[in-house]
A and B are shown apart, each in its own frame.
Chain A
Amino acid sequence: MAAGLLAAIILAMVIGKFPLTPGQLADAWLGWAWGNEALDPRIETVIWNVRFPRVIAGLLIGAALAAAGATFQALFRNPLVAPDILGVSTGASLGAVLGIFLSLPVILIQLTSFVGGILAVLAVYSIGLAIRHRDPVLTLVLAGVAISAIAGAGISLIKILADPYDQLPAITYWLLGSLTAVTRGDALSILPAMLLGLVPLFVLRWQVNLMSLGDEEAKALGVNTRLLRTILIAAATLVTAASVSIAGVIGWIGLVIPHIARLLVGPDFRRLLPASMLLGAMFLLVVDIAARTIASVEVPLGILTAAIGAPFFLWLLASGRRGWQ
């Protein structure tokens, strides 16, 4: 799996509108490592300012979305759950779409998107706390559906109000996800949120298994389910909101990748989490290579992940090779 990821990284660095040879890539990397003089400045620019941030962002986002999906599937005891079950993607979309509509600078659009995603999940979580004497997990899911619907209505409203020649295409493109515009600064700016989210998931990886037994059984085995659920939701929401804020909505990774990982390594979260992250990173890199090579214009990632992910998912269903009962 690690070898596959390395191969995907190298491919993602050399393939593109300005093709490089693996030799040039190796020269640039070695040159950087040894502190040598730069070679061709055009090659340096492509490698360090165009491809490198894109690959780093792709790795981070692919791994993060898959990790969030695997976490939510265990937490909500449902293999059909994706990271946006609690409305994080829709909330982040509303934030970004509002930013585009107000013609804010890119950095502020990223910020409104991140805040929108967090606010949506906070709203869902507060509703979950306010409604007592119901199954807490079911309450959260239903509140997520409601908040997503409200945010979705907001997005539709802004689309109608937006300038159809300038803003509307930008909004549509953003809603389908892309790594085209990612800069080195973007990749760095999401790093703290990514670490803040992924480290707790990794540390609590054993306890996540117990959450998939359901609230009562986890409690009977000594787990503080309310605290753990809060931490897991916060962690998965952070990494998803960070991903969406710089790359838009990239669907299907968080839903499909954990399934494949579960088929490969089983449901134990101690192995499922790293396997999902590796596969997610690899998958997004490969899809991104396809996105910038199959047509003269870049294809939005959301279109490709759905076009590849959905048929694969149907095949999983039909073949009975499922990691759940």
Chain B
Amino acid sequence: MAVAFALDTVSVGYRDAPIVSDVTLDIAEGVTCLLGPNGAGKTTLFKSMLGLLPYASGKMRLLDRPLSEWRRKDLAQTMGYVPQAHAALFPFSVLEVVLMGRTPHLASYRSPSGADEDIARQSLDRLGLLGLADRAYTELSGGERQLVLIARALAQKPRILIMDEPTASLDYGNQMRVLDQVRALADDGMTVLLSTHHPDHALRIGDAVALIFNGRLHAHGTPRDVLTADMMRMVYGVDVVIGALPGAASSSIAPRSKEHPNGA
């Protein structure tokens, strides 16, 4: 598979005290899940990859071109970013928020056109949010906001989508729907890099898993290879069992029962 984004011995964070060091990682097409404990530096790594933060050292290449050579606008046409759901100050309508995703495709002096509005509505429709179009973003629940921010990134029509814990504030149903959407986007040719605290999610939709631990890229590979019981114990300090429930589409991870220390 083609490499969308290549990191070569990249360190992010402050130069004298990097948060994550020496990451060498080829992000291929499909879904890559980034796992790691709280504070591991996942968000910092994302922001560095998006050109929002300077990084300490190393080389980054986006679509085989050094990241530093990309103009801000071209970068935004190529990479979409879904930040963690946040409170907004002014009560923009949901449609206006999603329209903002069209900005990289507009000349600086232009306002969005009717065609842009159509694209924004399609993005909302794809996530089943068309009914919210005229609601104020500030009045939505955290989960709805997160979905709207995903719709905004879709309106951006990027090749690569970077999502910072897109399922963190969602209820179980919305988590599953977002994961299905992410899978569908990847199947349509979009490269997705997302961070998550749920190894289950990586097992469900991930083509690859990257695991950050102790300031390093600790492991990288297929979910089945990386997410082993030994790895879970080391990284999260939890004894787990991994397996597919009868009828389940993918494996899941559950804490091991204390009464059966040797499994089953």
Contact = CB atoms under 8 A, between A and B. Distances in A.
Which of A204, A219, A323 is the most central at the interface, judged by chain B CB atoms within 10 Å of its CB?
A219
A206 interface: yes
A36 B77 CA distance: 61
Nearest to A325: B138
A218 to B, nearest CB: 9
A221 B100 contact: yes
A212 interface: yes
Given A222-B76, A323-B91, A325-B138, A268 B156 contact: no
A267 interface: yes
A206 B113 CA distance: 11
Interface in A182-223: 203-207, 209-210, 212-213, 216-217, 219-223
A273 B112 CA distance: 16
A266 B138 contact: no
3 closest cross-chain pairs (CB), A and B:
A222-B76, A222-B104, A267-B90
A210 B88 CA distance: 12
A209 B100 CA distance: 8
B91 to A, nearest CB: 6
Contacts of B93: 266, 268
Interface of B: 47, 50-52, 72-73, 75-77, 81, 83, 87-93, 96, 100-101, 103-104, 106, 108-112, 138, 156
A222 B103 contact: yes
B52 A207 contact: no
A216 B109 CA distance: 20
Contacts of B104: 221-222
Given A203-B109, A206-B106, A210-B103, A220 B89 contact: no
Given A268-B96, A325-B138, 19 more contacts: A77-B89, A78-B89, A206-B111, A209-B100, A212-B89, A219-B51, A220-B52, A220-B81, A221-B76, A221-B156, A222-B76, A223-B103, A266-B91, A267-B92, A270-B111, A324-B89, A325-B89, A325-B90, A325-B91
Contacts of B101: 221
Interface of A: 74, 77-79, 203-207, 209-210, 212-213, 216-217, 219-224, 228, 262, 266-268, 270, 323-325
Nearest to A79: B89
Contacts of B77: 222
A217 B83 CA distance: 8
